[in-house]
Amino acid sequence: MPSQTAAAPMPRTDIYDLLSRSNPDILTIAHRGLWSAAPENSLAAIRAAAELGVEFVEIDTQATADGHLVVIHDKTLDRTTSGRGVVGASTFATVRDARLRAGAGGETAPLTDERVPTLEEALEEARGRVFVNIDTKFPHELPLVIAAVRRLGAEEHVIIKSDVDPESRSFPVLGADWFGSIAHMPMFPVRSGKFAEDLRLIEPLRAPTVEVKFADIADLAAGREELERQNIRVWINTLDVSHNLDFNDSRALKDPDGVWGALVAAGVGAIQTDANVEFKQWLAGRSGR
């Protein structure tokens, strides 16, 4: 629970300052909020993550049938709520009527009094306490997401991510009207032996951070010089479904130095995890060594 680790304020007030490699801290990203303490993607999960002292929460958003952006991961309501049906085919009233299930949900998870929040509610909950990584589940809804961010004046508090293909040398996001006013994180798989090359190819994106998947951790370390030149922080998921070999939360809970420690040694500066309490405890112990 959050009380196991002392709460901390956001270490930086500027997202680019936070992500800069000049910041020596290893950043923690709470996947769907701190769902070990509250329903995933809920306002309570965002609050709990902020109280734990993580720097970012990752949340998922998609639109209801009547155009309301809500914070929920699955295409359907079934796993995480008391409701049933496709989110995108349901009215906002229907989605809102459902109660969120505890933790990661499932049929046996108890119901809570938490409801599916709107994106606006989630951004307001996070404002001034924790930065937000928005995962837009359907790319065609990104203009709605950008409009909501702008409406709330939250441009400086969020980061938008999108897949890019470095080899294409063509990045449509450069033409987006929001690019440059909202932080952007390119995502791509690391090509064997070509991480530095791919980083050079994406230089026009002026990325403060990149989220990558790798097949050889040595490739991450090989990109260190280019990462430093462009001031790019590497963001890695250690979720059990992240497909970065066996660098996952399940193994990290047994061997944190072998997973999180090895990633940090390879130059990773931000880790998205489902084991946030344990990761923060590991970081605290590491800094005390």
Query: Residue 162: what are its φ and ψ, rounded to 5°?
Result: -155, 150
Quickly state the pLDDT bin for 80 (edges 50, 70, 90).
very high
Q: Name the band, by pLDDT with cuts 50, 70 and 90, for residue 3.
A: very low
Instruction: Sort 47 into a burial class: Cβ within 10 Å, 0-12 / 13-18 / 19+.
Output: buried
Length of the chain: 289
Q: Which of 31, 68, 157, 184 is catalytic?
A: 31
pTM listed for this prediction:
0.93
Q: Is 68 in the active site?
A: no
pLDDT for 212 equals: 98
Residue 7 has pLDDT above 50, yes or no: no
Determine whether 73 is an active site residue: yes
Residue range 29-44: average pLDDT?
A: 98
pLDDT level of residue 288 (50, 70, 90 thresholds):
low
Q: What is the sign of the dihedral through the CA atoms of 265, 228, 24 and 190? A: negative
User: Of 68, 73, 157, 184, which one is the catalytic site residue?
Assistant: 73
Topology of domain 2-62+122-287 in CATH is: TIM Barrel (3.20.20)
User: Is pLDDT of 10 > 80?
Assistant: no
Work out the mean pLDDT of the chain and round it to a whole number.
Answer: 95
The band of 4, judged by pLDDT with boundaries at 50, 70 and 90, is very low
Burial of 165 (C-beta count, 10 Å sphere; 0-12/13-18/19+): middle
| pLDDT for position 65 | 98
Sequence ranges of the domains in the chain: 2-62+122-287
The predicted model gives 171-178 an average pLDDT of: 96
